[in-house]
Structure 1
Amino acid sequence: MWLLHLLSDPDEAAAVVGECARVLRPGGVLVTTVDKAASHNVGSDIDAALAGRPVRSPVDGAARVGQYAAAYGLTRAGGARFRGHGQGRSPRSTVEDLRRGWFTSVPPDSALADRFARRLAELPDQEVRRPDPEFALQAFRKPLS
């Protein structure tokens, strides 16, 4: 499931995991991304330029998702990581994301957005994408009985 990071309320995220647990057959497995927003921090100059921006507490944090799953009787069944091929950002594409509201904690037309846009505009290689993010998955199994 590639969904939990879109939710802002932990209770909503827990309810989504609960509904998945409800419809899983015994022995079935739920696979979901975790820590999605944090995965975009790849240690680049873009991340340094965006340092200090407000961030909301992630409802898809790995520990949190594990708690949601456990509350509905699911047990940890594994995990994996995968590269988001082609999802690395350039400074210019990051400004575009900033201006279209992709950074939900920074209003697109705010002075804060202007400040981050100026920092990003000062970076070299405006069209060069930085490393692709690496995303994390967790799997949870519904017991057989």
Structure 2
Amino acid sequence: MLDYDKEADAYDASRGGEARAAAAAEAVLGLVPDGPGHLLDVACGTGIVTRRLAADRPALRVTGADLTPAMVRMAGARLPGAVVRADSRRLPFRTDTFHAVTSIWLLHLLDDAEDVRAIVAECARVLRPGGVYVTTVDKAAAHDVGSDVDAVLATRPRRPAQDAAPTVTAHALRHGLRPAGGTAFPGIGQGRSPRTTITDLRRGWFTRLPPGEPRTEDFAARLARLPDQDRPRPDPVFALRAYRKPTPG
């Protein structure tokens, strides 16, 4: 996994910036019921999406939580007094606190199925009856857009997708949540070019291809032979799923 303390300063610029954040926030809020309430953004990162959730839905009181100190500092600057440092597997909030809980671009980072189960369980626990949990699913698959870059990378080793939609749904059902719809949004500015993909390979972005390994350099060499080295291929389209906590009776 990448070191997100080191990634923090360049994180937004390397991942679509405000345009991607705006698309994400609009899609998330489309799954969150209107009206006043309290929303928790789990693993809020730099707070670039969290701030938009707060700005675009003024009736919602928004809290961000993240484990990485550098990310918490950046998010705290965007939402003063509304960001806490917390492990998403052990959230420091009371049961039935929030009207909505979100985890955007989190579950795909995890190798351990038990960690994913624990996070979904915690999000369900702190969610009030009638509230919704919204999360991204199938993130790695979204980056395979059928381009020539994807064709080169097709044979790379992959880790199991812990954020696969059926897996996340199974965890949600196990913890009392019920499917409540879904949507998708474009990962604006995240289309891969051959040159940026080579850079990502060599800095450990692809977790099963460590920097410096012969296999990594073989993929890099094949990418270097593609045309239009600096032309981004199509942007990914990210999937969101919503789950509702039933009200008693």
Distance 2:129 2:208 in 1: 39
Equivalent in the alignment of 1:83: 186
By relative contact order (CA 8 Å, sep 6+), the higher-ranking structure is 1
Unaligned runs of 5+ in 1: none
**C-alpha deviation, 1:51, in angstroms:** 1.5
Equivalent in the alignment of 2:81: none
Where does 1:1-145 land on structure 2 (aligned, <5 Å)?
1-2=103-104, 3-145=106-248
**C-alpha deviation, 1:108, in angstroms:** 1.2
Distance 1:78 1:113 in 2: 39
Q: Deviations over 1:48-90 (max 9, x none)?
A: 0111100011000000000000000000000001100111010
Amino acid of the residue matched to residue 157 of structure 2?
P
Distance 1:52 1:131 in 2: 20
How many residues end up aligned between the 2 structures? 145
Distance 2:127 2:107 in 1: 17
Partner SS for 2:133: strand
Partner SS for 1:28: strand
Amino acid of the residue matched to residue 155 of structure 2?
G
Distance 1:22 1:129 in 2: 41
**C-alpha deviation, 1:95, in angstroms:** 0.3
Distance 2:136 2:113 in 1: 15
**TM-score, L = length of structure 1:** 0.99
Amino acid of the residue matched to residue 21 of structure 1?
A
The percent identity for this pair of structures is 61
Unaligned runs of 5+ in 2: 1-102
**TM-score, L = length of structure 2:** 0.58
Distance 2:134 2:141 in 1: 18
Distance 2:114 2:180 in 1: 23
Distance 1:4 1:68 in 2: 12
Distance 1:93 1:74 in 2: 39
Amino acid of the residue matched to residue 83 of structure 1?
P
Partner SS for 1:25: strand
Distance 1:84 1:99 in 2: 22
Distance 2:236 2:136 in 1: 13
